[in-house]
Amino acid sequence: MNRDAILQWIHQNVPASDFEGKKVLLIVPDSTRTAPLPILFPALRQLLGPVTAKLDLMVALGTHPPMPQQKIRAMLGIADSDPCEDVGLYNHEWDNPAALATIGTLSEAETREISSGVLAQEVPVQINKRILDYDIALVVGPVFPHEVVGFSGGNKYFFPGISGPKLLNFFHWLGALITNVGIIGVQDTPVRRVVDRSAALIPIERRCLAFVVATDASPYGMFYGTPEEAWKGASELSGKVHIKRFSRPYKQVLSCAPEMYDELWVAGKCMYKLEPVVADGGELIIYAPHMEGISITHGASIEAVGYHVRDYFTKQWDKFKDYPWGVLAHSTHVRGSGEFHDGIESPRVKVTIASQIPREVCERINLGYRDPASIDLESFANREDEGILLVRKAGEHLHRLEEGVSTKYPE
């Protein structure tokens, strides 16, 4: 879909009458997601601005760093000459208790039932309290295969998009216990059920404009309705266009992080989406010469914990249970699957970071290091027959082996 087709679709499929006289909060991703927001936001502003009582926007940061106003404006396609005084632009504040409201609780019995007994705990459901000042929340965001919830999008823009940390930590760890490989690219997951059950507690109307995009942000398809309806259609399409299937695993994968992944917290997606096609004992290199750090928000916790397989934590739970569970989940997803027996950790694959993060830091956090200047990108190209795979823009397309294909490299 080109720009004109997107605009035509919006005017034909997003009824302005749904929002007439209402106070509306748009909820959008930050700049770590590929999305045609410079087209969508002006179109929605033009469509909804004249009929709504109020129209504002919040960036669903989850726990990502806040975006400066100028970066938000650039992401939305707002011209420098446009004061945009008719639309308030807000960042979510996940770590500010004063910015959150508790709208309900998931009981221990509910979480046990939802997770099939994997994780049972009473969890308060907290959300950015600003949302309570509106009549309708309209999610505008993409859907991709996702390492924690199966497919992103829909109600995930509320939880963890604009949620408090307790629910976020709970369901990220739930996803980690199930494992990235076990959950990514699956529609019906326990984590999705947690997200949907929590969203049902939001006391205002929820709508969603979900879309599935190519690497250049052009949509393959767009869907409008309730978050559940729009997400269902988008996730079905994402499963067709965002999952690449392979007939063999690879001994070495060079996974290139795009510029929008400016820290390892998000560049970890270059591992999540490619782990399934790395052969046992193989190597995945996250190539990110622009990346300077691990995480502005979570860096200290990650450096204290390091990157480890799931059972490294579960078999030493008393040692790690008081760290943020979302950090532990991220750690296991980047390190990948593996085993931990008798104090010895055995990851299935080697994970190497080629970035500006120094060697000593990589070694301290239990990851391999390679100088990005030593990598000739093109020398990895067109070598699939040798067991080497180059992925030029990693992090959004899931790479998966065909059913029945082993991760053992064929000799």
Q: How many domains does the chain have?
A: 2
* pLDDT per residue as tens digits for the range 327-382: 999 999 999 999 999 999 999 999 999 999 999 999 999 999 999 999 999 999 99
The tens digit of pLDDT for each residue in 108-167 reads 999 999 999 999 999 999 999 999 999 999 999 999 999 999 999 999 999 999 999 999
- Tell me: the pLDDT tens digits for 214-269? 999 999 999 999 999 999 999 999 999 999 999 999 999 999 999 999 999 999 99
Q: Are 136 and 25 members of one domain? A: yes
* Rounded average pLDDT over 284-311: 97
Residue 344 CA to its chain's centroid (Å): 31
| Structural domain includes residue 407 | no
DSSP 293: B
Token output for 9: 């679709």
Mean pLDDT computed over 29-39 = 96
Beta bridge partners of 286: 255, 353
pLDDT at position 411:
77
Same domain, 90 and 225: yes
Q: Tell me what pLDDT residue 227 has.
A: 98
Domain boundary among 241, 275, 306: 241
Same domain as 19, residue 103: yes
Give tens-digit pLDDT for 161-210: 999 999 999 999 999 999 999 999 999 999 999 999 999 999 999 999 99
Statement to judge: residues 185 and 278 lie in one domain:
no
Last residue of a domain, one of 225, 241, 257: 241
- Distance, in Å, from the CA atom of 283 to the CA atom of 388, rounded to the nearest integer, reads 10
The pTM assigned to this predicted structure is 0.94
**Most distant CA atoms of the chain, gap in Å:** 67
Helices (H), 185-336: 190-199, 227-241, 264-267, 269-272, 299-305, 310-314, 317-320, 325-335
- Mark whether 39 and 25 lie in a shared domain: yes
221 and 293 assigned to the same domain: no
Regarding whether 331 and 275 lie in a shared domain, the answer is yes
Domain harbouring 211, CATH code: 3.40.50.11440
For residue 327, the enclosing domain spans 244-401
CATH number, position 264 = 3.90.226.30
d(CA 355, CA 361): 11
Asked if 202 and 281 sit in the same domain, the reply is no
Instruction: Give the total residue count for the chain.
Output: 411
